[in-house]
């Protein structure tokens, strides 16, 4: 499942991960460290919600 950053619309795709942020492809959103932030706008993980 993909997750969307509410403030900026960035979509976290587990198949892609966030290589620049140290998140390997294949990493589920639930498994991302709590200190990870949106690579676009910098908000915390709790500002994301599942994509419909």
- Show the domains of the chain with their CATH numbers: 3-50 (2.20.28.10)
8 in a labelled binding site: yes
In this prediction, residue 3 carries a pLDDT of 98
Query: What does the pLDDT average to over 37-41?
Result: 98
In this prediction, residue 30 carries a pLDDT of 97
Q: What would the two tokens of residue 36 be?
A: 């990870």
- pTM of structure: 0.92
Q: Express each pLDDT in 21-37 by its tens digit.
A: 999 999 999 999 999 99
Whether 52 shows a pLDDT value over 90: the answer reads no
**Which residues are within 8 A (CB) of 43 and not within 5 positions of it... i.e. 6 or more apart?**
5, 6, 7, 8, 37
In this prediction, residue 10 carries a pLDDT of 98
41 in a labelled binding site: yes
38 in a labelled binding site: yes
């Amino acid at each position: 499942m993909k997750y969307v950053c509410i403030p900026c619309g960035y979509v976290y795709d587990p198949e892609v991960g966030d290589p620049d942020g140290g998140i390997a492809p294949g990493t589920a959103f639930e498994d991302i460290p709590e200190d990870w932030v949106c690579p676009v706008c910098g908000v915390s993980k709790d500002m994301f919600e599942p994509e419909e």
